[in-house]
Structure 1
Amino acid sequence: MDSKIDFLYLSEPDMIKAGVKDMKQCVDVMEDLLITLYKGDYVMGGQNHNSHGCMITFPDHPEFPGMPQNADDRRFMAMPAYLGGKYQMAGMKWYGSNVENKKKGLPRSILMMMLNDKDTGAPLALMSANLVSAYRTGGIPGVGAKYLARKDAKVASVIGPGVMGKTSLAAFVSVCPQLDTVKIKGRGKKSLDSFVAFIKKELPQIKDIQICETVEEAVRDSDIISFTTTVRDDVSSFPYINGEWIKKGALISMPSAARFDDEFLVNNCKLVVDNSKLYEAWEEEYPYPTYPQMQIIGTKFTDLRHEGKIKAEDIVDITEIIEGRHPGRESDDDIIVYSVGGMPVEDIAWGGMVYRNAVKLGIGIKLPLWDKPEMA
């Protein structure tokens, strides 16, 4: 019996060569993933099999020397999952995050991903995962734009021009052929300059770039509105959006948080989520009010249901729209709010696809685990 095991190591340059930045393919993979999730052919963490992951945070006043102190985005997180369908793979994304990384020229979060054989548990690949995570995070909004945006969408706004903003816009461009204008609201010159440079290099379809001074200026007259801001724990820090600013027919894509008037969400919008079971799990893990804790707009939807302001059927899973079981956009005037939660199965889907590309193309470094296990 051959018990030798080796696995593939893929650096960030390797991942780029293997196609991790192919947003069109990523959106297709994310759409297939959402259908696979709806069928139930997956397992994530927790007793409910729908947990986002397990997070380590630190005390405000550590009593031991060397223990990190609580701060913005100071955490470690493990996100394990198994994904069936055409993927048939287990794995885990693991990362540490610290906002102070920016001062060192590093990303806020540094991510790695391990893919494993679903039966033996043997490692298949250890890969740099910052771009996997970034592109799959944009890919899910891309699926939303494909099914929920107006077909003639021309203007997108991005509030929060960071990594999520870049990949969300790339995804919108990949599915909206008439999109040619972007309105940007950011907090600092560095992030705005980086965002503009990204557009000019990666998204030549965008011809008109407008820098906005206020959120209101950014969202008015936009067909697709993307919130990808970093927010603090206090709900009052979330950007406020007056429903009167929103153009009829707009798609509001929300991988991040914002404050809306309840009346606007309840009476003027269709409410769509990327995976309804994820929000049910968050309700269970972070009891009402869930939105201030999770800061994903779909948990605001479940809070509204808890308060009796909407019914369970008012929260629509996007797969029901993809597969034609529920109407999506029924008129050019429909305003749709689309919640993007982020799930480790997305990392496995896109990371697994890039891994297979790398194997076909002979990219990466093969590393030995053992020729024969010492204790078996």
Structure 2
Amino acid sequence: MSKAEFIYLTQEDVIAAGGLNMEKCMEAVEEALACHARGDMVLPSKTVVRWGDPETEATKGRINAMPSYLGGKVNKVGIKWIGSSPLNPKRHNLPRASGILILNDPETKLPLAIMDSTIISAMRTGATGGVGMKYLARKESRIMGMIGAGVQARTQAMAAKIAFPHLEKILIFDILPDRSNSWCQEMSLKLNTPCSPARSAEEAVRESDFFVTVTTAHAPIVKADWIKSGHTFVHMAGYEDEVAVVKKADKIVLDSWTEVHHRGLQTVYLAYEQGLISEKDIYAEIGEIIIGKKKGRENNKEFIYYNTVGMGIEDVAFGSFILEEAQKKGIGISLPLWKNPIWV
């Protein structure tokens, strides 16, 4: 029997292989979402390890296991194992999130690679928001609003610049003003786009063409009367807006209703649970719009509510791109699984 080997990629390797290339990440994620709409994937719901009820995640954190198979151009199996510990930055000077991604051959089921997924996860989450911006925001959009100035705000802004290369301004609000200020200094240079701290969450929403929420909030921030005609709301986290915001939408678009329902924490699910909306009110999943099964934005007056929960196929998609680039460039370490299997 032949030996079995896999490639190990550190975070530095992932970056060297293109881990910060948002354009390629959005292409990979768009392919994953299209495969989801076609049914060319296998997607078990994520398993969450937590130390208590969902509210404890704010302090004790969680670890998610996200297995999936993605067909199409990718044809890989994988699993992301990612931890989130909110107190890490203050207590241990470590990132909030850390994870690994394992990719397997769908034929032999043997591992092909084990890699850091911290960057991959952050990038693909930004890309998922960016794909929504591309298909759902008004084409002439020039001002982006943002609530929350953490890591995810960085990748959402990176994706916005791919979706809207002529973006003129980013307004960002965080409950900690110093975070907004430092974020603006950093991202203005990186994106070559003026970034300004907003005086309030309301200003970030009202003054924008489209806006994104990336917070750890467990109580609503965004209010229904802040929404204006033509707005696009990219909702990336949990309970960040009044249920009335969902009810106000002309179109509700999700990445996956099954996974939003499974997670059970986001505002759109709470509106459903309270009987304010039904499944019939869900206009589309974003993959259906990508493949042309449903239309995206049809006029400049629609308020479109886009909610994502995240799926393992997105990690497999971008991780597969990273693996291919690493192999082309000779990046990473080849490690043996065995020289000869003891049992066959």
Q: Give the corresponding residue for 1:76.
A: 63
Tell me the distance in 2 between the aligned counterparts of 1:118 and 1:135: 24
The reply on whether 1:97 has 2:79 as its aligned counterpart is no
- Residue identity over aligned pairs, in percent, reads 34
The match for 1:365 among 333, 340, 344 is: 333
Q: Is the 8 A contact 2:246 2:267 kept in 1?
A: no
User: Does the C-alpha gap of structure 1 residues 313 and 219 become closer, same or farther in structure 2, counting only changes over 3 Å?
Assistant: closer
How far apart in 1 are the matches of 2:62 and 2:227?
Answer: 35
**Aligned position for 1:272:** 253
CA contact (8 A) 2:103 2:111 kept: yes
Shift of 1:194: 4.3
Gapped regions of structure 1 (runs ≥ 5): 46-50, 61-68
* Paired amino acid for 2:320: G
* CA shift digits 1:147-179 (9 cap, x unpaired): 111111110011011111111111011011221
Q: Match for residue 57 of structure 1?
A: 50
Offset, 1:243: 2.4
Q: How far apart, CA to CA, are the structure 2 residues paired with 1:71 and 1:335? A: 30
User: CA RMSD, aligned part only?
Assistant: 2.1
Q: Which AA in structure 2 matches 1:249? A: G
Q: Give per-residue Cα distances to partners, 1:91-114, cap 9 Å, x unaligned.
A: 111123322211222111211111
Deviation at 1:71, TM superposition (A): 6.1
Mapped contact 1:93–1:347 kept (Cα < 8 A): yes
2:234 is the alignment partner of 1:253 = yes
TM-score when scaled to structure 2? 0.92
**Count of aligned pairs between the two proteins:** 340
Pick which of 194-203 and 174-183 moved more: 194-203
Cα distance in 2 between the residues matched to 1:326 and 1:181: 30
Distance verdict in 2 for CA 1:301–1:348, change over 3 Å: farther
Aligned match of 2:75 in 84, 88, 105? 88
Q: Is the 8 Å Cα contact of residues 147 and 174 (structure 2) preserved in structure 1?
A: yes
- Unpaired runs of 5+ residues, structure 2, are none
Is the contact made by 1:152 and 1:178 (CA closer than 8 Å) also made in structure 2?
A: no
1:6 maps to which residue?
5
**Is 1:230 aligned to 2:216, yes or no?**
yes
- For residues 332 and 254 of structure 1, the distance between their equivalents in structure 2, rounded to whole angstroms, comes to 20
TM-score, normalising length: structure 1? 0.84
Q: Is the 8 A contact 1:301 1:315 kept in 2?
A: no
CA shift in 2, pair 1:119/1:133, >3 Å: same
How far the C-alpha of 1:322 sits from its partner, in A, is 2.2
Residue 123 of structure 2 aligns with which residue?
135
Q: What one-letter code is carried by the residue in structure 2 that aligns with 1:88?
A: N
Cα distance change, pair 71–247 in 1 and its aligned pair in 2 (3 A) = closer
Partner of 1:32: 31
2:341 alignment partner AA: P
Alignment partners' CA distance in 1, 2:181 and 2:103: 35
Report SS of the residue matched to 1:99. Answer: coil
The Cα of 1:58 is off from its aligned counterpart by 2.0
